[in-house]
Chains A and B, each alone.
Chain A
């Protein structure tokens, strides 16, 4: 039986989450992410899961963190100012090593901004929105099919590295409907967190076994008792003010992500083999950039596109290599210049950098990119 259908981006996110094993959703609805809450409310009870609408976005992520501690894969979704409200508890999830997925369907800001208009202006908030030194995983798909597969990947990475994973989307890909073949996606593998192999009285909640990247995670309610805190803690989970303990913990939390970039970082390269120029673009805008690449090639300009699917940690190695091959990299993003800063840091003078951005709530069209780059090259 064929499973080809027209599906909305937000709908594909929920379908992918359920495929990945999400059985708890808590949140507070906000445009343009609301369909994710609506569909989770509709579908979770049919899959033996639970949905709860909390009093606000802060409680939304807090409940998801609590549910995850009981061994249940959990998600929350938000947009705009809601993403600001999530930040404190994203830090809590990082510190206490609680796997959850936070979806941010980006809209125009700051504050309530333009609720129904698209934007890519949470790129840096995804990286540094919560306070303190930390590393973070943030993924950003560009099609309905990729939203489905990337949502599964977000859950898998959050379970594997015991950390909150941010799934970035935007109003355009969240609300558009595209063809998807679910039959072709039914065998995508899922990863579940490792549970303790020792009995409860021998369990050290935050001790990493040899050859492991993260501690084994007991589910509350299964007889294992331990302390969960946002304070710096030792292997038992109880707070510590010791500088050796603090240094060891914070470095471990950062390195479990930074040292595993080869596993975490994914990207797409389009027409880069013989390229003199490259566009760096992601999400909905990468689709404008792809059309622009085709049109610029017809005008005789050898250009390609590099699309990070893992936004954080950034594809540092790949972008650095790219900057040695091309004359100029254009960062095309629907904001005032955010990923631009990361690309500048990585490229570090190895090639020229241009930027094209927009902050009026309208999409960047392929024609705009073509005109901008053509003028820039021939100027």
Chain B
């Protein structure tokens, strides 16, 4: 062998022999952080997760991710107060993503295309009684049926849906949408018995051979207030008014209608009165606009339709064609106090919308149940003090919205399922929140929020047609693509591109990435340039 002089005859070697990973003092790691929308959703939807599929135009996949947590997307896409949008990080950039409208688009698309839920798991042989076919009961029934349990729903009313049907007017929620989504749940094999009020829960469980029961009877009893009224004064409560809208005959309210109260039900009653032909529909409320429990959007829509509001006022007396109101003022603690100033308002009819109570008569004599402030107390596992009896929705403490009800139903179903299997369900530890400061927003394109079409005011004042319209496909997709994907990798390839050391391995579409720690020097460029905050640095153990 010919001897070669050193240093000019070595074959070129690759720098791969130089493992620069040993320089590292901090290490990047891929993480999934909790997007604020998911965090805020009372139904626990994986919003960022389903938007991801909608962005690609894979609407069925998006819908399937959505209905893992909520079987009523077309309903929710109309009536939810979308706390997700309130907490959306994009609101700090320009405007929040129109999550609610996209949800509605997916829900409607599912109905249009006839997508069905996946077949339930193998039958467990266990049977669960659900009392109440409102959002909470339907949600629990759906989740339990999917888990393979036999579910029977009993409802006292003539049609399923609870407050979604008898509380929410059809101009906000068309009944064909509600009917279709409920039908899809029943098609999972859930049996529904209408007009069958349960009066004795343990008895019903025993007679039907049920292993557990979920109570979700809602809050249907209207609260009253004492108002001195002449014999001819026409007074009714908002809940009865809204319920009667589902019957054949429309109630006669007169030309001038006064609604007493400041919640969402008051808004619904005032807007319904307007549609029934009232020339004047006036809301009388004790406090100020800032302190009103009704959602801002509902009040805004009511005002657009010509509903008037008399702030800081209470009704002192009601007569045949007029009422006497007293001006109030707020004291230091924000409580309204009477001022003695009286005023007369013309009114043919007074509608009371002062809140609702739960009809708890079905729980008489059930041992172990605790009732406080008119609602049933439940533990973290949604179980009441009586083993095997769970409860949720408006009849337990919490905010009373459809979304909260659906969330309760889902949560209770998880616990009921575990309870039937003799285990306990533990919520997996939540990811760290993906706050705005974790994002690199430079990378996102400017895009204004899309607006949903709204019905003409004239038609809103005289018909029960749906007020807010849905997105077409192009708009829905555009809006979905405004999602910043906070805290969750959306495969933008930034980390793969910006690494000066070529130490990021791209695993291919849908597979995300891996770090090559043999060469990663820990510079942190990938962390800084990740748009959505899905990489973090942790100190290296040295």
Do they bind each other?
Answer: no
Contact residues of A with B, CB < 8 Å? none
Contact residues of B with A, CB < 8 Å? none
